[in-house]
């Protein structure tokens, strides 16, 4: 029999402008387990691709976690940010506000951040600066291309013999995708999708964030996919080689879903992902946070403290 969960709508932030869904176990809450906050992917609201965050939240709540999935300012049901901040700083401020809600209303002082794509990038950029964050689950984060990436990418395409039947230099998907990847790797001001950086070097900026996370003792679960036309990762070790400045050691668990696409359109792959995340969140021994000192922290200082408000309410079923 499936364990039941309780879901409620929350409205929080200084103006009540942020909207989210909190999912909890229907039975007694396991206070020893950290709370979990799931972040938007790009402009997709808190339901996630193929409603993946709905099933993920319920699965994690069944194992004893309090889970919040909410919309960043200007996405879904959340109002636009009134401060005039950049998109990146606005989103980082929203994460801090969400953690303040979790701490004040649900007495959770340890939090795990989960995000896919830009949600993963937001997670790592924020996590090291807040001692309440003890771990992050990063699904298909931004990974700079390496030399071995191109070797694997070209080899994979050449093995797909059917593509040669419609091969032409101008129209070939192989040539076009390879050119796009090379251009992206060489652009000095390349940016991860949906993120707006003040720093010109994205790899260095994210590399600093990963190093700060390791210095702070954060546990990282990194999940990468390999089944789409231009995968961010073509081999399992690419993530580690792309961010050599961070000595991950046993703080990192790296998984490669070679048969999953970027949005986990397969129900089987989503179930496999949920199994992995539940096991990691429930069984990982999270150590107390160590102070992290990094340029990234100074570049992205914690937003001013915001006292959250909390209320119950109702949203259309499609948004849940």
DSSP string covering 3-46, please?
Answer: PPEEEEEEEESTTS-EEEEEEEESS---TTSPEEEE--BTTB-T
317 has a pLDDT exceeding 50: no
Report which of residues 164 and 86 the model is more confident about.
Answer: 86
Please answer whether residues 24 and 66 qualify as being in contact, where contact means their C-beta atoms are separated by less than 8 angstroms. Answer: yes
- Rounded Cα distance between 6 and 4, Å, is 7
pLDDT at res. 156: 57
Which residue carries 């879904």 as its tokens? 76
pLDDT at position 81 is: 76
Residues 6+ apart with CB under 8 A from 278: 59, 60, 63
Residue 149 has pLDDT above 50, yes or no: yes
What pLDDT does 6 receive? 94
Around Cβ 69, how many Cβ atoms within 10 Å? 24
Question: In the predicted model, what is the mean pLDDT of residues 54-83?
Answer: 92
d(CA 267, CA 251): 29
Task: Provide the percentage of residues in the chain whose pLDDT is more than 90.
Answer: 48
Instruction: Find the helix or strand (DSSP H, E) in which 116 lies.
Output: strand 111-116
Determine the Cα–Cα distance for residues 106 and 112; give it in Å rounded to an integer.
14
Give residue-wise pLDDT tens across range 235-291: 677 888 888 889 999 999 999 998 899 999 999 999 999 999 999 999 998 877 755
Average pLDDT over every residue of 306-319: 31
pTM: 0.77
Checking if the pLDDT of 62 tops 60, the result is yes
Average pLDDT (189-193) is 40
Q: Torsion over CA of 123, 222, 60 and 50, rounded to 10 degrees?
A: 80
| Pairing between β-strand 133-139 and β-strand 111-116 as defined by DSSP bridges | parallel
Q: Which of 74-83, 201-210, 278-287 has the lowest mean pLDDT?
A: 201-210
Split at pLDDT 50, 70, 90, the class of 148 is low
pLDDT attached to residue 258 = 84
Pick the CATH number of 5-143+196-319 from 3.40.50.1820, 3.30.413.10, 3.40.50.1100, 3.40.50.11540: 3.40.50.1820
pLDDT at site 191: 39
Q: What is the pLDDT of residue 206?
A: 87
Dihedral angle computed from the Cα positions of residues 194, 196, 199 and 203, in that order, rounded to the nearest 10 degrees: -10
Q: pLDDT: is 64 or 159 the higher one?
A: 64
Tell me the per-residue pLDDT of 125-136, one tens digit each, with 9 for 90 and over: 999 999 999 999
What DSSP string describes 229-282?
SS-S-SSTTHHHHHTTTS--GGGEEEEEETT--TT---HHHHHHHHHHHHHHHH
**In this predicted structure, which of 86-90, 175-179, 210-214 has the lowest mean pLDDT?**
175-179
Q: How confident is the model at residue 66 (pLDDT cuts 50, 70, 90)?
A: very high
Q: Which residue has the higher pLDDT, 135 or 167?
A: 135
CB neighbourhood size of 202 (10 A): 20
Least confident window among 13-17, 29-33, 47-51, 101-105? 29-33
Model confidence at 181, pLDDT cuts 50, 70, 90, reads low
- Residue-averaged pLDDT of the chain: 78
């Amino acid at each position: 029999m499936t364990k039941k969960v309780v879901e409620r709508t929350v409205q929080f932030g200084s103006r009540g402008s942020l909207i989210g869904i909190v999912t909890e176990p229907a039975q007694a809450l396991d206070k020893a387990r950290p709370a979990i906050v799931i972040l938007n992917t790009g402009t997709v609201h808190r339901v996630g691709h193929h409603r993946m965050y709905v099933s993920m939240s319920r699965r994690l709540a069944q194992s004893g976690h309090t889970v919040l999935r909410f919309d960043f300012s200007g996405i879904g049901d959340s109002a636009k940010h009134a401060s005039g901040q950049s998109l990146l700083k606005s989103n980082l401020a929203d994460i801090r506000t969400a953690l303040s809600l979790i701490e004040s209303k649900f007495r959770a002082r340890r939090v795990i951040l989960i995000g896919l794509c830009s949600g993963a990038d937001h997670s790592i950029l924020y996590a090291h600066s807040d001692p309440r964050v003890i771990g992050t689950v990063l699904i298909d984060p931004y990974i700079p291309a390496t030399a071995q990436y191109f070797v694997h990418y070209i080899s994979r395409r050449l093995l797909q013999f059917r593509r040669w039947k419609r091969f032409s230099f101008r129209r070939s998907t192989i040539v076009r995708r390879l050119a796009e990847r090379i251009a992206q790797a060489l652009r000095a001001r390349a940016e991860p999708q949906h993120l707006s950086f003040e720093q010109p070097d994205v790899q260095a900026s994210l590399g600093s964030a990963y190093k700060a996370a390791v210095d702070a003792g954060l546990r990282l679960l990194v999940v990468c996919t390999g089944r789409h036309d231009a995968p961010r990762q073509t081999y399992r070790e690419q993530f580690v080689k792309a961010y050599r400045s961070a000595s991950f050691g046993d703080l990192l668990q790296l998984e490669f879903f070679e048969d999953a696409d970027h949005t986990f359109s397969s129900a089987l792959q989503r179930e496999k992902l949920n199994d992995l995340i539940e096991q990691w969140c429930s069984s990982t021994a999270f150590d107390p946070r160590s102070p992290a000192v990094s340029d990234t922290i100074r570049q992205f200082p914690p937003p001013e403290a915001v006292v959250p408000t909390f209320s119950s309410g109702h949203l259309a079923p499609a948004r849940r």
